[in-house]
Amino acid sequence: MTSSKRPDRSEHSRQDLPDSFHGDDPVSRRDFLKGGLASAAALAAGTHSPETVSAQLSGRQPADVNSVGLPPGRVRLAFNENPLGASPAAIEAVLRHRDWMNRYDYTTTLQQAIIRHHDLDIPRPSGFDFKATGDRHGLMLGVGTTELLQILALQALMKNGEIVEALPSYGQVTRVGDELRDAGYEVQARRSPVLPDGNHDLEDLRNQIGDRTGLVIICNPHNPTGALLPHERILDFIDRVPPHVLVAIDEVYVHFVRDPAYRDFIQVAKERENVIVLRTFSKVYGLGGMRVGYAVAHRDVIYRLAPFSMGLLGRNVLSVHAAAAAMGDEDHVRRSRQAVWDGNDFLTAALERLGARVVPSHACFLWADFGRETQRIVRTLWSRKVMVRAGAGQWASPNHIRISTGSREENEAFVWALERTLG
Ligand SMILES: Cc1ncc(COP(=O)(O)O)c(C=O)c1O
């Protein structure tokens, strides 16, 4: 297959999405100046809060919705973005650093913020390096978690030849494996179907591991199902995995877990040599467009991954300051989490009323089974200016739709459009 004919397998593929939803540059210079002055004034007055933003939103039909960061009238519930917008502290940090755009970033601001946040034992991060390591712990920044998944896949496929990922899933490591195989490399991305409850089938994952397996990805809470596996079950899986296999725990949605007793895997990654945890600033912190993610692992794991990274020059001077500020903005994290929980309750009730079965979600989206093919439903929703994702195609789930949790108004507009679509 030639590269121009290769299917785009990424979650953010545009091939199955209508162009009109994206809008290359929805912000005119006049709008920008107006908006910029308004947000500067709001910031100065301390009123640039998510409440102010959502108070400006109104209406229950798509035409009336005015989403943060989108042209009016479009309801985009397709990419698991934060409907409240970025952390106000991040916006303020970007404005404060706007004169730094001509400079490459050699600060350690973001590394320091992450090291403090997770209490990593990394005493002297270097501004000249993209990774930070101590005697035991290691930290690596990425251009979103997507770059880190790409690096993990490349490293494991080059060294060992095989990786294992659930189906359906975010799919970045599988995409790398499939594309390399199509290009003639002797590598393989194995898929492990999720269970009917939306969780990874740990028994099957274990069975798929062979001598050539270098990497297994577990996404918890899982995308696109929103299901959550208990900590102990994953730990038990890690205990039984052969030592040549690295287990990556993708925790990009972990802030939305609804079980207060749930423990994440940062501590495990700090203690073990075969576990790496991935986090992002794209979800709860509201910085999807800024492209910052990070990985925490044993120092030696980080060293192994280093040759595949873009390194220091993948760092964006505005993004690192935005991310560092967002990490300290607990108020925005709390509000974002609550908005998602409220939205999930509202959407779950509406979807069940309309006959769909919904997996209890620990993430900022819902996975709904309509018991019949959903491609037509999704296309009709698009025509009503509501963008959600059909389960057909890369997720191999033709009866499903994934709906990202929106603001109250976006959620209401989605339900309005769905009611009319289902008749
Ligand atoms: C499970 C999962 N992992 C990783 C990512 C990548 O996020 P980002 O590259 O924005 O950090 C996403 C994005 O939606 C995701 O759903």
Residue-wise pLDDT for 152-201, tens only, equals 999 999 999 999 999 999 999 999 999 999 999 999 999 999 999 999 99
Q: Which two tokens stand for residue 73?
A: 């009238």
- Cα of 46 vs centre of ligand 1, distance in Å, is 31
Report residue 60's pLDDT band, with 50, 70 and 90 as the boundaries. confident
**What pLDDT sits at residue 10?**
60
Atom of ligand 1 nearest to the CA of 288: 10
Give Cα separations from 11 to 173, 244, 341, 392 (angstroms).
11, 29, 23, 12
Q: Indicate the top mutation candidate among 150, 225, 282, 365 to test ligand 1's pocket, ranked by most ligand atoms within 8 A of CB.
A: 282
pLDDT-based confidence at 26, cuts 50/70/90? very low
Ligand 1 centroid from CA 281, angstroms: 9
- CB distance 155 to ligand 1 below 6 Å: no
Protein residue whose Cα sits closest to atom 7 of ligand 1: 145
Check residue 195 and report its DSSP letter. Answer: P
DSSP 360: P
Determine contact, residues 202/255, Cβ cutoff 8 Å.
no
Q: Residue 127 — very low, low, confident or very high, per pLDDT cuts 50/70/90? A: confident
Residue owning tokens 């062979």: 210
Q: Is the distance from the beta carbon of residue 319 to the nearest atom of ligand 1 less than 6 Å?
A: no
pLDDT at 29 (0 to 100)? 44
Q: Is 293 in the pocket of ligand 1 (CB under 6 A)?
A: yes
Provide the sign of the torsion angle of the four alpha carbons 355, 357, 361, 364, taken in this order: negative
Give me Rg for the CA atoms of the chain. 21
Q: Whose CA is nearest to atom 2 of ligand 1?
A: 170
CB of 404 closer than 6 A to ligand 1?
Answer: no
Tokens for 96, please give them.
Answer: 């404060």
Residue burial 258-277, b: 16+ Cβ < 10 Å; e: rest: eeeeeebbbebbbebebbbb
User: Is cis: bond before 221, omega within 30 of 0?
Assistant: yes
Name the band, by pLDDT with cuts 50, 70 and 90, for residue 27. Answer: very low
Checking if the pLDDT of 59 tops 70, the result is no
The finding on whether 219 has its CB within 6 A of some atom of ligand 1 is yes
Distance 285 CA to ligand 1 centre (A): 13
Alpha carbon of 342 to ligand 1 centroid (Å) = 22
What's the pTM value of the predicted model, to 2 decimals?
0.90
Give the tens place of pLDDT for each residue, 261-274.
Answer: 999 999 999 999 99
Cβ–ligand 1 contact at 80 (below 6 Å): yes
pLDDT at 210 (0 to 100): 96
Which pair of tokens denotes residue 164?
A: 């294992």
Ligand 1 centroid to residue 11 C-alpha, Å: 9
Ramachandran sector of residue 316 (left: φ over 0; alpha: ψ -120 to 50; beta: rest): beta
- pLDDT single digits (tens) 303-318: 999 999 988 899 999 9
For residue 362, the model assigns a pLDDT of 98
Question: Over the stretch 383-397, which tens digit does the pLDDT of each residue have?
Answer: 999 999 999 999 999
Query: What is the rounded distance in angstroms from the CA atom of residue 80 to the CA atom of residue 146?
Result: 14
Give the mean pLDDT of 17-35: 50
Q: Residue 353 burial by CB count (10 A; 0-12/13-18/19+): exposed, middle or buried?
A: exposed
Q: How far apart are CA 186 and CA 35, in angstroms?
A: 52
Query: Atom 15 in ligand 1: which residue has the minimum CA distance?
Result: 170
Hey, what domains does the chain have and what are their CATH numbers? 30-86+331-422 (3.90.1150.10), 88-327 (3.40.640.10)
Cα(391) to centroid(ligand 1), Å = 17
Helix (H/G/I), strand (E/B), else coil: 387: strand
Distance 279 CA to ligand 1 centre (A): 9
Contacts for 4 with CB less than 8 Å, ≥ 6 apart? none
Residue 324 dihedral angles phi and psi, to the nearest 5° = -60, -40
Atom of ligand 1 nearest to the CA of 283: 10
Q: Which of 143, 170, 389 to mutate to test the pocket of ligand 1 (most atoms within 8 A of CB)?
A: 170
Assess whether the C-beta atom of 224 lies below 6 angstroms from ligand 1: no
Which of 220, 166, 221, 170 is CA-nearest to residue 195?
A: 166
Higher pLDDT, 229 or 127: 229
Q: Is 146 in the pocket of ligand 1 (CB under 6 A)?
A: yes
